[in-house]
Amino acid sequence: MKHRIWLVFGLITLGLLAGCASSGPERDINDPTNSLVFGYIDMDDAPTGVTSASIVQVAPPSDTPYWGLGVNKGLFYNSYLPPGSYQLSKFSGSGFFAGQHEYSFPRQGNQTALRIVKPGIYFLGSFKYKKVKTGIFEQDKFAIEKIDKPTEADLLKRILDGSSEIQSSAWSGKIRARLAQLK
Amino acid sequence: MIPRRGLVRVRLAAANLVLLGALGACVGAAREQVDSLSELGGGETVVVGRIELVPPLRAGEQKIRGGNSSQFENKMFLLTDEHYRILTKEPVVADYAGRIEAILGQTFFVRSSNKPFFIRGGMLYLDLGGRELNRAYFPGGLKVSINPGDKAVYIGTVQYHRNEFFEITKNLIVDDYDRANAEFKKKFGTKYSLRKALLTPAK
């Protein structure tokens, strides 16, 4: 019984870890229709950092439109996305004093809208969180502003260096090829 | 974009309640649907038109949760004003007074004074209920030309063409008078005629 409990905890932990990497409908990392989508958010001016993030598939229609993003110090990515239309959906994070926060992106006028027709590597951009002033009875709001750094190449290097799964997959060669193009 | 947490959630709920209350006709009521022309007072007109989304909302694209979901589902809130004003920022509760609640793809028949007015823009809830609030906005800047003495005017079908990101790619005023007039006669009889007065750009 004790072992079963640990097994359950173990499975939950595995599930959570998998969720942190880049979750969503199950796909093989070497599926040739996959795209790598990534970006960066500077949350220095936000109440918290980002510990989890999701991107939503807006086309084609799906019963499971939300895809988790791997998150690491502002970098976010998913290496399993099939062709379709996507935009960032939500970031969340927590801080000791700030508590749990969710940052929801709009469904209309979302700067991160991306249409993937051909599988490949797609850089959404590097952004900085900006608080938007609102009235006391209005919802809190934020905006994201494009920034120049980190660059696409900086982030691709981080993805490559930071994930053994990526290193041992077909992405390794594709990322290196893209880095060579960016030089 | 909306961040949420503790107190913020309370504020968000308050903001939602204020707006929902307003749209629930407590404050700044919508233009009433007209079922009989005898309901119209002197100096009143029935405005006939239609709003279409192209492509239409597909299943699951609009997520309205809660008991009164039918009040918001498949419905565009058209903001109107007797004075021409451009909608430059997110509308506040007061902006919804005198709105037209148009069920998408259906002809509306709403009561109006017989003064010209302007459609400032439209709003459609994409997510509503629980902790979700997401809206899409649609362009306006259209004039409804009503003449004194008009009993019924047809303003056309506003077609908003959009993509999967709810970006408006084109908006058209379509003359679908024959269908609207047939619906008008079926609903109200033939005593009054429906004058065609298609929407025009305000400026």
Model confidence at A172: pLDDT above 80: yes
SS (H, E, C) chain B: CEEECHHHHHHHHHHHHHHHHHHCCCCCCCCCECCCHHHCCCCEEEEEEEEEEECCCCCCCCEECCCCHHHCCCEEEEEEECCCCCCCCCCCHHHHCCCEEEECCCEEEEEEECCCEEEEEEEEEEEEECCEEEEEEEEEEEEECCCCCCCEEEEEEEEEEECCCCCEEEEEEECCHHHHHHHHHHHHCCCCCCEECCCEECC
Quote the pLDDT of residue A25. 62
Residue A17 counted as domain residue: no
Decide if B2 and A47 are in contact by the 8 Å CB cutoff.
no
Residue A7 counted as domain residue: no
Range in A2-16, A106-120, B46-60, B169-183 the model is least confident about: A2-16
pTM of the model: 0.83
Residue A29 counted as domain residue: yes
Residues spanned by the domain of A148 = 22-182
Quote the pLDDT of residue A12. 39
Residue A92 counted as domain residue: yes
A33 interface with B at CB cutoff 8 Å: no
Decide if B165 and A140 are in contact by the 8 Å CB cutoff.
no
Provide the CA A144 distance to its chain's centre, in angstroms.
15
* Per-residue DSSP letter, A150: S
* Residue B134 CA neighbour count, 13 Å, CB half: 22
| Both tokens assigned to A53 | 């993030």
Give the Cα separation of A106 and A20 in Å (integer). 23
Across the A:B interface, residue pairs with CB atoms under 8 Å apart total 85
Over residues A56-69, mean pLDDT: 94
Question: In B, which residues are within 8 Å of A140 by CB distance?
Answer: 2-4, 8, 11-12
Overall domain count for chain A: 1
B125-163 pLDDT, tens digit per residue, is 999 987 788 999 999 999 999 999 999 999 999 999 999
Give the rounded percent of residues in chain B with a pLDDT score beyond 70.
87
Over residues A27-33, mean pLDDT: 93
Question: In A, which residues are within 8 Å of B58 by CB distance?
Answer: 61
Q: How far is B183 from chain A (nearest CA, A)?
A: 34
Give the Cα separation of A136 and A3 in Å (integer). 52
Quote the pLDDT of residue B2. 63
Residue A5 counted as domain residue: no
Range in A118-122, A141-145, B2-6 the model is least confident about: B2-6
User: Of the candidates A137, A141, A142, which has its C-beta nearest B18's C-beta?
Assistant: A137
Range in B81-90, B101-110, B153-162 the model is least confident about: B81-90
Mutate to test the interface with B, among A48, A66, A108, A124 (most CBs of B within 10 A): A108
DSSP A32-59: TT-EEEEEEEE-TTSSS--SEEEEEEEE
Question: In A, which residues are within 8 Å of B165 by CB distance?
Answer: 58, 85, 87, 107-108, 110, 113
* R_g of chain A, CA atoms, integer Å: 17
- In Å, how far are A121, B91, B101 from A79, measured between CA atoms? 9, 39, 43
Residue A39 counted as domain residue: yes
Among residues 125-184 of chain B, which lie with CB inside 8 Å of chain A?
126-127, 131-137, 164-167
A102-141 pLDDT, tens digit per residue, is 999 999 999 999 999 999 999 999 999 998 877 766 667 8
Residue A2 counted as domain residue: no
Residue A8 counted as domain residue: no
Quote the pLDDT of residue A19. 39
